[in-house]
Structure 1
Amino acid sequence: MAEFATVLLVVGVLAAVLTCLVWLGSRVRRRGVGGDVMGPFDEIWHPTAHRSRAEIQVHEERVVPLPSAEGPPGAAEPE
Structure 2
Amino acid sequence: MYLNYANTVKRFLISLTGNFDLSEDLTQETFYQAYRSIHRFNGDCKLSVWLCQIAKHVYFDHLKKKKHIQEVSIDNNENNM
Answer with 1 or 2: which has the greater Rg: 1
Class of the TM-score when normalised by the shorter of the 2 chains:
0.3 to 0.5
Q: Which one has a larger percent helix, Structure 1 or Structure 2?
A: 2
TM-score (norm. length: structure 1): 0.40
TM-score (norm. length: structure 2): 0.39
